[in-house]
Amino acid sequence: MKILVAEDDNIARLVLESALRKLGHEPVAARDGNEAWSLFCAAPGRVIVSDWMMPGLDGLELCRRVRAHKTDYVYFILLTSLSANTENRHAAVEAGVDDFLSKPIDQQELWMRLRVAERILQFTTQVRELESFLPICGYCKKIRDDSNYWQQVESYFKQKQGTQFSHSVCPDCMERVIRPQLAALGLDLDQAKKVSPQK
């Protein structure tokens, strides 16, 4: 798995990169939060391991930007010192951080966090795939919404996207449905077109 690493301490960054490679992952290293943000924007990954305190853009602000970015869900692990208190951790969770790792990095702890990240990302992918299905009645073409309510296609899209519909009849339905109905009434569509006033 490709993992973005944001760490301003050169030695800590090299140690983390080495640990990730040993676990079979592909680290993409950034020397600070600004570089990490640029790398993320260029090629969004699904996992970020970031130091908390960095010059310029710190780990919390990086996380906030990632959360505001329209992309697939990103699992964000924040590196903390043992002195990080509960209040600070609450602030980190509010910023969107998923998990914490204490420094210095323990490879077994890192492995466990990444296994959790893989499971969470797999679930988010499955949820997104399920949400992409649109339940529609094969007969009347009504759509079932999130509240298990069946509504007309037009109403559904107007509510979800503000889309307005204009109604017409396609050529296939004109020949298959309208023309036979008019013929059953003794009317001819071509003659009706000739006598109707032109606008």
CATH assignment of the domain containing 119: 3.40.50.2300
Are 188 and 105 in the same domain? no
Q: Using one digit for the tens of pLDDT, what is the confidence trace for 103-143?
A: 889 999 999 999 999 999 998 887 777 666 777 877 777 88
Are 163 and 177 in the same domain? no
The answer to whether the beta carbons of residues 33 and 6 sit under 8 Å apart is yes
Task: Give 193's contacts (C-beta < 8 A, 6+ positions apart).
Answer: none
What are the strands of the beta sheet with 99-102, ordered from one edge?
26-30, 2-6, 47-51, 75-80, 99-102
Structural domains in the chain (count): 3
**Mean pLDDT over residues 58-78, rounded?**
94
State which of 78, 107, 131 marks the end of a domain: 131
Q: State residue 12 phi and psi, 5-degree precision.
A: -60, -40
Are 64 and 42 in the same domain? yes
Are 95 and 180 in the same domain? no
Are 158 and 175 in the same domain? no
Q: How confident is the model at residue 192 (pLDDT cuts 50, 70, 90)?
A: low
Are 72 and 154 in the same domain? no
Are 40 and 125 in the same domain? yes
Are 152 and 122 in the same domain? no
Are 97 and 150 in the same domain? no
Q: Which of 69, 51, 56 is nearest to 11 (CA)?
A: 51
Are 183 and 195 in the same domain? yes
Cβ density class 143-157: b for 16+ within 10 Å, e for less: beeeeeeeeebeebe
Determine which of 10-19, 20-29, 154-163 has the lowest per-residue pLDDT on average.
Answer: 154-163
Q: How confident is the model at residue 84 (pLDDT cuts 50, 70, 90)?
A: low
Range of the domain at 163: 134-167
